Structures are given as C-alpha cells and as structure tokens.
Amino acid sequence: MATIDHNGKTYNVDEDGFLTKGMEEWDQGWVEYVKASEGIGDLTDEHNKVIDTLQEYYKKNGIAPMVRILSKTTGFPLKRIYELFPSGPGKGACKMAGLPKPTGCV
C-alpha cells in the first residue's frame, strides 16, 4: 500500500492517490497536499464549500453525491466546479475531501 508524506504526516493512499482510510485520516494538511498536486492556486471559500458539502453528504449517504446534487447544493454550476477543481468533481474535489472514488458502471 502506498503512502504519502506531507508536512511530517503520513497518509495511506490507493493507486489513484485517494485516502484509503477516507475522512478518518483527512485533515487540513491533506487539503494543502492535494491543492499543490492538483495545481490549484489559492484555496477559497468556494473550495471549502464544495469540500464541506461533499463530506456532509458522504456522512449521511456513504457515497459521493450525484454531480447535479453537488451543483444544486453548493449553487455552483458544473463549469464553476471544474474551474475550482480542474480534475473535476470526482478526481479533484472528492480526493481533496477524502471521499473514495465511485465504482461500477460509471
């Protein structure tokens, strides 16, 4: 299993760089790490809103929300989410929020 060291902390990650223990290991340091690796500039309130929404939804549902629910809840159109997270809601935002990747017919 791969690990990532960042600012003195070690994170367990899967092959695609998602936290294997999810929110259990998630912290602000992880957010900073993903920010750098995803080439995101300044972290804004909008980024935080997306992360909070994802985590809150995940706690209730055990899965990431449909992209359109994310869009509706945050009030950000999909285009804006891609501007905030260039790799997209799944690979970018979910990774930063410590959510796992959805699998199946997707």
Partner 1 sequence: MANLKADELGVKVASDPSLTTGAVPAKDWMDTPAVFEPGNYCYQGKSEKVEYISDALKNNPGLFGEPRDWDIESEDWKLPENWKEIIINGIKERLDKFRSFKIFMDCCVRCGACADKCHFFLGTGDPKNMPVLRAELMRSIYRNEFTKAGKILGRLAGAREMTFAVLKEWFMYFYQCTECRRCSVFCPYGIDTAEITMMGRELLHLVGVNTNWILEPASNSNRTGNHMGLQPHTLKENVEYLCDDIEEITGIRITPTWNRKGAEVLFITPSADVFAEPGIYTAMGYLLLFEHIGLDYTWSTYASEGGNFGLFTNNELMKKLNAKMYAEAKRLGVKWIIGGECGHMWRVLHQYMDTMNGPADFLEVPKSPITGTVFENAATTKMVHISEFTADLIKHGKLKLDPSRNDHRKVTFHDSCNTSRAMGMLEEPREILKAVVNNFQEMPENTIRETTFCCGSGTGLNTGEIMDLRMRAGLPRANAVQYVHEKNDVNTLGCVCAIDRATLSALIDYWVPEVQVCGLSELVGNALVMDGEKEKETGLRFEALEGMEG
Applying CB under 8 A, the residues found at the interface with partner 1 are 1, 14-16, 60-63, 66-69, 72, 102-106
75 forms bridges with which residues in the sheet?
none
Q: 48 vs 75, which CB is nearer to partner 1?
A: 75
Nearest approach, Cβ of residue 90 and partner 1 (Å): 9
Q: 29 vs 90, which CB is nearer to partner 1?
A: 90
Nearest approach, Cβ of residue 24 and partner 1 (Å): 14
Q: How far apart are CA 34 and CA 85, in angstroms?
A: 10
Q: 15 vs 42, which CB is nearer to partner 1?
A: 15
Alpha helices in the chain (DSSP H): 28-37, 45-61, 67-74, 78-84, 88, 95-97
Nearest approach, Cβ of residue 7 and partner 1 (Å): 26
Q: How far apart are CA 14 and CA 48, in angstroms?
A: 23
Q: How far apart are CA 52 and CA 6, in angstroms?
A: 22
Q: 17 vs 29, which CB is nearer to partner 1?
A: 17
